[in-house]
Amino acid sequence: MQRVVKELASWAAYIVSAVLIGLAINTFVFQPTQIIGCSMESTFYENDKIMVNKLIHTFGSVPEYGDVVIIDSRVNRSRTLTDDLTDSLKYNAITSMITKEKQDILWIKRVIGKAGDTLEYIDGKLYRNGKVIEEPYIKEPMNYFGDKKVVVPEGNVFVMGDNRNSSCDSRIIGCVPLDHIIGKYAFKF
């Protein structure tokens, strides 16, 4: 009997270890997720499944221009380690297949401006620091940017969807703090 108990305890320890390792990978390294909405068409479509590289968030790296990133749209609140843990469980491709719930907190967008950049929309074109941004990935020309210049503050980025006319992005919520960048698009599956 004692041998059976030891064997069960050993198996339980292996299972708990595997679950904890899986949770750590999902939270800090890679996470599968599903595209919701049309804001990134023609790059991604509703229900596309992608893998998110979360090392950019884990190590506090700054994304490059044109990088496709996943952001926490709740920019007016601080982001915590608890958010990292709970969001990775609530908002991933596996959970959304099981629960069928749509979330609207984590958004996928493209980095258009970084700290210190000045962005303007003039005569149908988007300018960064006085130069037109070449954007072959956008679905159609943008109809709205606003009447003002945007200067991206230190520690923030400015993001937009590729489907500019159907995207909630930095034009609505403002610049995104770097700690609200959850990860970067890695690949589709």
Q: Give the per-residue pLDDT at 36.
A: 87
Q: How far apart (Å, rounded) are the C-alpha atoms in residues 128 and 47? A: 32
- Domain that includes residue 85, residue range: 2-188
pTM of this prediction?
A: 0.84
**pLDDT of 102 over the 90 cut:** no
Taking residues 93-105, what's their average pLDDT?
67
Q: What is the mean pLDDT of the chain?
A: 88
Number of domains in the chain: 1
Q: Give the per-residue pLDDT at 169.
A: 93
What percent of the chain stands above pLDDT 90?
Answer: 53
Q: What is the CATH number of the domain that holds 154?
A: 2.10.109.10
107-164 pLDDT per residue, tens: 999 999 999 999 998 888 899 999 999 999 998 888 877 767 899 999 999 999 999 9
Q: How far apart (Å, rounded) are the C-alpha atoms in residues 43 and 23? A: 29
Task: Report the Cα–Cα distance between both ends of the chain, in Å, rounded.
Answer: 47
